[in-house]
Chain A
Amino acid sequence: MPDKRAQLSSGPEIKETNLPGVGVRFDFSTESGENVAVVHHRTGRRELVLYEREDPDCSRDVLELTESDSRTLAELLGGAKVAEELGKLQQSVEGLAIDWLPIVVGRPYAGRTIGDTGARTRTGTSIVAVLRGDVAFPAPQPDFTLEGGDTLVVVGTPRGIEDLATILQTG
């Protein structure tokens, strides 16, 4: 009976369930079919929960994490830091939006430079990073050449980002 469902880019579906008086539980199934949950206590404590095979309702192992433990674990698992920093940025500036926009193979800007998109002049948005496979290129210059399959990390107004998405699709 999850209260909300969400999905990170291309990841599995994450289910969110309120635990009244305690906090929130997030859970998802790994690609190998294992159920994993993270319980966020309001006190800042976190629990990482694995479920029993025989009884999928019951936790088999519970790893208790303090706030700094969970930060360390997230960093070791990778990727979280960028998201956290961006999250902070988003919180501090009202009306600022961040999005991940794909460069689809065969679309106008695959093979062209960031400058060609005219992102800043036409939409007021900034491309703060380009993700290519496992590699991230932070703060790319206007002469950076985009490839099909890249993902752009874009910061701007929600409107500007929508415009840029259209431009990337249609030219």
Chain B
Amino acid sequence: MDGAPILLELGGVLLGLAVLARLAGKFGISPIPFYLVIGLAVGKGGIVPLVTADEFIRAGAEIGVVLLLFMLGLEYSAEELGRNLRSGAPAGMVDVLLNFLPGVAAGLILGWTPVAAVFLGGVTYMSSSGVIAKLLDDLGWMGNRETPVVLSLLVTEDLLMAVYLPILAILTVSIGAAASVASILLSMTAVLVVLLMSRRYGAALSRLVFNPSDEAVLLTILGLTMVVAGIAERIQVSAAVGAFLVGIALSGPAADRAKVLLAPLRDLFAGVFFVFFGLEISPAGIVPVLFTAALLAAATAITKIATGWWAARRIGVGPRGRMRAGTILVARGEFSIAIAGIGVASGIDELGPLVAAYVLILAAAGSILARASDPLMVRVLRRRRPLVSARP
């Protein structure tokens, strides 16, 4: 077999990603929209459609989602999730109401099926943990008073996704109502059991995984995560949730090593995953939905800002901090794409172009809005009170 075509195609794609990632870094915005553009360019009806690398990218995208969610799970422990769920519940509820429902409503207005509308709800609900974590660091906001609120909202979203994805997985297979309910209960139970087990046996699992050889740790963790993800997908809990739970279960030295060892792999395959999503969409299909996507983006940017504003005000943060909390939450990215990806894979084709355009807009606008929020608020507040009196 001639290896040249696939090497050339993959290498070309990776170099394209590399160039755009540098460009994005220069302007301080997320590279995700650029990755999508590359996918559009090399996909169906793009400028240079791929011929041989298609299969690899398809498999790579699958691994990309699994790694994204696994690494996310690594950041949290089961205790932390439980504690956060209690303290973050009110803000989490507001987040769901303000950001999930508009997506569902938009889907229904567009005349989509209820199932497709529920998918769109997830797309507009999930903020991008990846983009936001990077922004918090870049802007030096980690010590800010509003930041715990932002992080807590993200954690709640991630946790709710572990409940939401299995529901999606079941909604997309056409079975009876009773069977659906039973199936949903089963998957919820599975998620809960794993969470509780990881609290008790997480340390033992981590010891088992740990080994002085980097190679052994890497292969063990990667293999384990993929097997669990595969099983989860098989029983309709969704691969992403399986991987997330493995990440939560791992802790201590094993988790620290996993973070270092798997981060480069995650970056590679997450890139492939964004390309793959763009690949499946014809650029010509994006143009007609661009206006709808822009409207939806504007509406759900405002609802996210309202969510952050409300949550920050609740703990006594001032107007500038409220605006920062709101604007930083606007960015949508990897999770919106992951949800839409599941939808497209199960035949809801209308999700693809709309979500691609939506994420293109909000991944970029989210970074820009967060950067602009503070200077903007300073100006607004100055205008309102020309003389800023010194605080007592």
Q: Which of A49, A57, A62 contacts B318 (CB 8 A)?
A: A57
> Inside 8 A of B149's CB, which chain A residues have their CB?
1
- The answer to whether B199 has its CB under 8 Å from any CB of chain A is no
- The answer to whether A37 has its CB under 8 Å from any CB of chain B is yes
- The answer to whether B265 has its CB under 8 Å from any CB of chain A is no
- The answer to whether B143 has its CB under 8 Å from any CB of chain A is yes
| Count of A-B contacts judged by CB separation below 8 Å | 82
Determine the distance from Cα of A55 to Cα of B129 in the docked complex, in whole angstroms.
26
Determine the distance from Cα of A53 to Cα of B388 in the docked complex, in whole angstroms.
12
- The answer to whether A17 has its CB under 8 Å from any CB of chain B is yes
> Inside 8 A of B298's CB, which chain A residues have their CB?
none
Minimum Cβ distance to chain A for residue B68 (Å)? 14
B143 adjacent to A39 (CB under 8 Å): yes
Closest to A18 in B: B148
A20 adjacent to B152 (CB under 8 Å): yes
B374 adjacent to A22 (CB under 8 Å): no
- The answer to whether B320 has its CB under 8 Å from any CB of chain A is yes
Take A53-B391, A54-B388, A58-B321 as given contacts and tell me if A20 and B84 are in contact as well, using a CB distance cutoff of 8 Å: yes
Determine the distance from Cα of A56 to Cα of B321 in the docked complex, in whole angstroms.
9
Within 8 A of B (CB), among A48-104: 49, 51, 53-59, 62
Determine the distance from Cα of A18 to Cα of B80 in the docked complex, in whole angstroms.
9
- The answer to whether B310 has its CB under 8 Å from any CB of chain A is no
A1 adjacent to B142 (CB under 8 Å): no
Residues of B in contact, count (CB < 8 Å): 33
Determine the distance from Cα of A32 to Cα of B142 in the docked complex, in whole angstroms.
24
> Inside 8 A of A62's CB, which chain B residues have their CB?
140, 142-143
> Inside 8 A of A37's CB, which chain B residues have their CB?
143
A1 adjacent to B143 (CB under 8 Å): no
Q: Which of B151, B316, B320 contacts A58 (CB 8 A)?
A: B320
Minimum Cβ distance to chain A for residue B91 (Å)? 11
A57 adjacent to B76 (CB under 8 Å): no
> Inside 8 A of B83's CB, which chain A residues have their CB?
18
Within 8 A of A (CB), among B300-318: 315-318
Determine the distance from Cα of A46 to Cα of B123 in the docked complex, in whole angstroms.
34
Determine the distance from Cα of A126 to Cα of B147 in the docked complex, in whole angstroms.
44
> Inside 8 A of B388's CB, which chain A residues have their CB?
54
Take A20-B76, A22-B142 as given contacts and tell me if A57 and B151 are in contact as well, using a CB distance cutoff of 8 Å: no
Determine the distance from Cα of A22 to Cα of B141 in the docked complex, in whole angstroms.
12
Determine the distance from Cα of A20 to Cα of B140 in the docked complex, in whole angstroms.
17
Closest to A60 in B: B140
> Inside 8 A of B315's CB, which chain A residues have their CB?
1
> Inside 8 A of A41's CB, which chain B residues have their CB?
142
Determine the distance from Cα of A118 to Cα of B5 in the docked complex, in whole angstroms.
86
Contact with B along A3-38 (1 / 0, CB 8 A): 100000000000001111110010100000000010
Minimum Cβ distance to chain B for residue A24 (Å)? 10
Take A20-B80, A25-B143, A37-B143 as given contacts and tell me if A58 and B324 are in contact as well, using a CB distance cutoff of 8 Å: yes
B154 adjacent to A57 (CB under 8 Å): no
> Inside 8 A of A57's CB, which chain B residues have their CB?
144-146, 317-318, 320-321, 324
B151 adjacent to A20 (CB under 8 Å): yes
Closest to B88 in A: A20
> Inside 8 A of A59's CB, which chain B residues have their CB?
140-144
- The answer to whether A163 has its CB under 8 Å from any CB of chain B is no
B142 adjacent to A39 (CB under 8 Å): yes
A21 adjacent to B140 (CB under 8 Å): no
Minimum Cβ distance to chain B for residue A49 (Å)? 3
Minimum Cβ distance to chain A for residue B86 (Å)? 11
Q: Which of B84, B140, B142, B391 contacts A56 (CB 8 A)?
A: B391
Closest to A25 in B: B143
Q: Which of A1, A47, A49, A53 contacts B148 (CB 8 A)?
A: A1
Q: Which of A17, A20, A51, A55 contacts B155 (CB 8 A)?
A: A20
Minimum Cβ distance to chain B for residue A19 (Å)? 5
Q: Which of B148, B318, B321, B391 contacts A19 (CB 8 A)?
A: B148
6 A-B pairs whose Cβ atoms sit less than 8 Å apart in the complex: A3-B87, A18-B148, A20-B151, A57-B317, A57-B324, A59-B144
Q: Given contact pairs A19-B151, A21-B75, A41-B142, enumerate 9 new A-B contacts (beta carbons under 8 Å).
A: A17-B148, A22-B75, A22-B142, A53-B391, A54-B388, A55-B318, A57-B318, A58-B320, A58-B321
Q: Which residues does B use to contact A, with CB under 8 Å?
A: 75-76, 80, 83-84, 87, 129, 133, 140-149, 151-152, 154-155, 315-318, 320-321, 324, 374, 388, 390-391
